Amino acid sequence: MALEVEAKVAELLTNVLAESHRNYNHNQEVVYPYMTYQTELEMAGEDLEAINLDCQLFDRSTSDKKLLEVEYKLKSAIDKVTLLEEKYLMMVRFVRSGAVSTNDDNIVRRDLSFRIKIYRR
């Protein structure tokens, strides 16, 4: 089931920002803005799993305006999403976001976190 949920998460993120990459952006030529994301699975009960979804947004700019727009789109697209699939019920909730300083004055970054609960059916 974890692979199915991971695939669904990747689909949701890619629908918002085509340049979405699990763990790292390995592209030879980086297209901005882009997102990297990681997931961490934990057991939260006998029939309940939880996934912490951490997303990092990057843009080559001196302003975070574009990243704030992407963040808004991402939250609008996946926060409070409830999906009923054959094997599970998946519920997504936004947790937090914030700016992250970088060592490059021309790169801006924002981090977002979501909590996904998965109820096995």
The 10s digit of each residue's pLDDT in 54-95 is: 999 999 999 999 999 999 999 999 999 999 999 899 999 999
pTM over 0.75: yes
What CATH code is carried by the domain that includes residue 59?
A: 3.30.2000.30
Q: Which domain holds residue 35?
A: 2-120
The 10s digit of each residue's pLDDT in 28-61 is: 999 999 999 999 999 878 888 999 999 999 999 9
- The span from the CA of 54 to the CA of 36, in Å, is 8
When divided into structural domains, the chain yields a total of 1
